[in-house]
Amino acid sequence: MTGSKRRKPPHLFWAIASAAALAGCTDDGSYSAPVFPFQVRFAASDRAAPVLLSNTNWWQRLNDPVLDALIARAMVSNLTLEAARERVVQSRAEIAAIPGAASLSPDAQLITQGANGSPLTTVGTGNLGFSWLLDPLGARRSQLKAADARAVATGAEVNAAQLLVILNLANAYVDLRYNQRLLALRSQDLASRRKTLALTQSFLDADSATRLDLVRSQAVVSEIEGQIPGVKAAIAGKKAEIAVLVGMAPGTLPVDLDKGASLPRPHLSPEVGIPADLLRNRPDILIAERIYYAALQDIGAAKAQLYPRLSLGGAISLTSARGNSSTEYFFGPSVQFPPLLSKSPRATVDARESIARQAHTSWKSTVLQGILEVENALLTYSAATAAVNSSDRTVRLYQEAVDLTRDLIAKDGATVSDLIDAESASASAKAVLADNQRQQARAFVALNIALGSGNAYRAAAN
């Protein structure tokens, strides 16, 4: 950054704080945080005491009840979220489907048999088999932990999908309001240019204007008339997009999107510091952490296959025929040895270790990407805010120029051509201001999404 003002010492952030919730796994089953080798900071902030952003309902700072209602409805009925939630149900069911360490296998059979000239005989049999897999090396325990970690990652995918829905819905809504504002500006400009056209015609009749002035004024009116249909089509398209994001067919959304059509204006200082542990809000980091943890547990399960498996089992059989019954049973241990000449178990362990290293690298990359996105979002929001402030002043100055030109025309101090140019500059400045306000609102949305803010929001809590 440039400037003569001396910066405050930047606040240092350990990216490891962004993932303190997860962990690797030591041999005794305890958790240890994966090591992140870089020291990072957010250069976009000068604050010595960073300000936390709220993790939920941040869009309410845009002060738009219609947007609040749309997001609440989308969290309930968006079809992408519905599918993501079903994948969580599936992952939890798959954990329950993992066989237990102990099992009972009962069965019963009743047979009536006979031959020619012989009476029928009924034979009943019942069997109860049982087994108990001893797991001193923790193979099954590792499988359960890996499956649970993947289930947590699936749950984080729901949060990631939720953030994506909020991002797309908020951006579509901002774009809708921008196009509605643009339509209003075009309509106002068209009305003003028609008055100027009438004024030009009267001046031409009085020999105070030229044919060129009249043609220029007519061309401007025609140009604006040609822009309006495209803006109206953009408005209709954004309304349809919003309806689909909410989970409804276009044209069926029970929300009046023409009411209160103003661009959302965020209220947030552009110099806002973000502590690194807030990156824990990002679902993609949690997903990467859990995938890494699951990979570590897979190593433990693979290593257990290098050693013999010990189990206890038995069965009780009861047979009844012709009033006589007998009972048989057996019970004892069994040992299953790994293949003695096969390299496959060891190769499997090597492969699982490589997968875990890849997962750890992916986690580090995800953290760095998150830091980059937050940094860029802070810079973009700061720039957009500055642009809005500058554009607002520009609009006021150009409008003043239009008013002065009109006054000078009445005093023969300006020409119709001067008025046409002043109105064009004013209309362009207003359009630029509207676009800068749109960019500021979208930058505010992007900043909160980059921080993972809102992933824990639930419509029922609103």
C-beta of residue 37 within 8 angstroms of C-beta of residue 28:
no
Confidence of residue 259 (pLDDT cuts 50, 70, 90): confident
For 84, the token pair is: 């993501």
CA–CA gap between residue 110 and residue 125 (Å, rounded): 6
Which of 82, 458, 79 has the alpha carbon at shortest distance from 243?
79
Report the pLDDT value the prediction gives residue 16, as an integer from 0 to 100: 32
* Domains of the chain in sequence order: 13-113+120-461 (1.20.1600.10)
pLDDT tens, residue by residue, 175-221: 999 999 999 999 999 999 999 999 999 989 888 888 999 999 999 99
Average pLDDT over residues 164-172: 94
Residue 432: burial class (beta carbons within 10 Å; 0-12, 13-18, 19+): middle
C-beta of residue 438 within 8 angstroms of C-beta of residue 176:
no
Q: Please state, rounded to an integer, the average pLDDT across all residues of the chain.
A: 80
Q: What percent of the chain has pLDDT over 70?
A: 82
Helix (H, G, I), strand (E, B) or coil at 132: strand
CA–CA gap between residue 378 and residue 272 (Å, rounded): 8
The residues with which 108 forms a beta bridge, in sequence order, are 126
Give the dihedral sign, CA 301/304/309/313.
negative
Helix (H, G, I), strand (E, B) or coil at 100: coil
Please state the pTM of the whole predicted model: 0.78
CA–CA gap between residue 313 and residue 83 (Å, rounded): 42
Residue 151 has pLDDT above 90, yes or no: no
CA–CA gap between residue 459 and residue 207 (Å, rounded): 67
pLDDT tens, residue by residue, 277-333: 556 678 898 888 889 998 988 898 888 888 887 777 777 888 877 667 788 777 777
Report the pLDDT value the prediction gives residue 272, as an integer from 0 to 100: 53
C-beta of residue 441 within 8 angstroms of C-beta of residue 174:
yes
Average pLDDT over residues 225-244: 95
Q: At what angle do helices 139-205 and 211-246 cross, to 10 degrees?
A: 160
Report the pLDDT value the prediction gives residue 8, as an integer from 0 to 100: 36
CA dihedral 17, 19, 21, 26 (to 10 degrees): -110
Report the pLDDT value the prediction gives residue 273, as an integer from 0 to 100: 52
Confidence of residue 38 (pLDDT cuts 50, 70, 90): low
Distance of CA 412 to the CA centre of its chain: 61
Residue carrying structure tokens 């990072």: 40
Residue 372 has pLDDT above 50, yes or no: yes
